[in-house]
Chain A
Amino acid sequence: MNDTQWPVYEVFHQQARGEAHIHVGSVHAPDAQMALVMAKEQYCRRQACVNLWVAPASAILATDYQDGDMFEHATDKSYRESWGYKTPKTIKKSKASDKESAK
């Protein structure tokens, strides 16, 4: 052995301007520049790509799948969704009698 098990860099590509960068895989590399140069051919030799990122895998902090239920909604949160609101298609005109009683 006595060889090199280099750090892992995660690779993200952007397929077109305006789109989000998407995770596509990872490479082993001795440093970030080399990771970028290597990632270009392993992950972008076929698919469209306008921009490429690499980031050390060690820099990523992730949630635990075990705690995935924290993303679930235990109570009704429809009030913060557009579909949680119902309004009538036509608005009723207010009645004259209402005006009078207001006086």
Chain B
Amino acid sequence: MIATMETLNDLDAPTKSAVIDLLYRLADDAIIIGHRGSEWTGFAPILEEDIAFSSMAQDDMGHALTFYQMLHELGEPDPDTNVFGRKLEQWKCASLVSLCSKRDWAKSLVRKYFYDVAESLRLESLAQGSLVPLAQLARKLSSEKKYHLMHGHMWMPRLGQGTDESHQLMQDAVDTLYPHALGMFESTGADDLLDQAGIFLREDELRKRWVAAVDKVLGESSLKINAKASPVYGGRSGKHPDDLATLLDGMQLVYKLDPSAKW
């Protein structure tokens, strides 16, 4: 029987640092995918889709903000300092979200879909978990994910099966991104503690569920995955592709003119 923890204060020191590790992974993934999504604002292939994609980017950034706020409650820097002042090697996002996909709609869509399935599963697990504030937050956030999934489920078969060209571009995107998507489930030292405390599922279990869900939809979209692909790890421990360094340079540009200034 796992005891529920009503407040963040109920966490003992080792569990607290495991939760901090988890929140950084959730928050960093969300802000970076949101940032990537916003790169399409004004450039999407259809006006209506431009609006939809911008909304989802805002949702993702909003999710990130709530995770950073919880981190702040746990003694970490405030959200703005954390995002706009943090060094590259301190980031914990997966390479899937770090990779640049500017002007590549197929990659952007596939990446967003891969991420949304993962985030949905994470939120589902948190919602059933024993840490009440996080469970409540997860339940609240998961309502927005419904639309993201609906959006992804709409696009995948249409482009997977639309024309030969769209099929090929989508297949290329899947081939490139699948190993990075598996990298989202890189286990960290926090896995065992979070699992024992009943807060969050183990990464390998989440990965199993993710593979099953994605496999089904890709199959229905005439897209194949390479079952032998090996995951690209590193993001969770601060090793990132150059694309993230470029992204952070841009994102922190104005803030760093004077970190004490208000804009």
Contacts and interface: CB of A to CB of B under 8 A. Distances in A.
A34 B52 CA distance: 11
Interface string A21-55: 00000011110011001111110010000000000
A22 to B, nearest CB: 20
A41 B154 contact: no
A41 B150 contact: no
Contacts of B49: 38
A28 B54 CA distance: 18
- In the complex, which range does the number of interface residues on chain A fall in? 10 to 19
Contacts of A41: 48, 51-52, 54-55
- B46, B48, B147, B151 — most chain A CB neighbours (10 Å): B48
Contacts, number: 31
A27 B151 CA distance: 16
A34 B154 contact: yes
B55 A38 contact: no
B154 A29 contact: no
A42 B51 contact: yes
B52 A33 contact: no
Contacts of B54: 41
A102 B151 CA distance: 81
Nearest to B52: A41
Interface residues of B, number: 13
A42 B48 contact: yes
Interface string B109-133: 0000000000000000000000000
Contacts of B46: 28, 38
B217 to A, nearest CB: 15
A12 B167 CA distance: 33
Contact of A40 (B47, B147, B158): B147
A37 to B, nearest CB: 5
Contacts of A34: 154, 158
Contacts of B47: 28
Contacts of B48: 27-29, 38-39, 41-42
B154 A45 contact: no
Interface string B38-67: 000000001111011011000000000000
Given A30-B158, A38-B48, A40-B147, 20 more contacts: A27-B48, A28-B47, A28-B48, A29-B48, A34-B158, A37-B52, A37-B151, A37-B154, A38-B46, A38-B49, A38-B51, A38-B52, A39-B48, A40-B52, A41-B48, A41-B55, A42-B48, A42-B51, A42-B52, A45-B51
28 contacts: A27-B48, A28-B46, A28-B47, A28-B48, A29-B48, A30-B158, A33-B154, A34-B154, A34-B158, A37-B52, A37-B150, A37-B151, A37-B154, A38-B46, A38-B48, A38-B49, A38-B51, A38-B52, A39-B48, A40-B52, A40-B147, A41-B48, A41-B51, A41-B52, A42-B48, A42-B51, A45-B51, A45-B55
Interface of B: 46-49, 51-52, 54-55, 147, 150-151, 154, 158
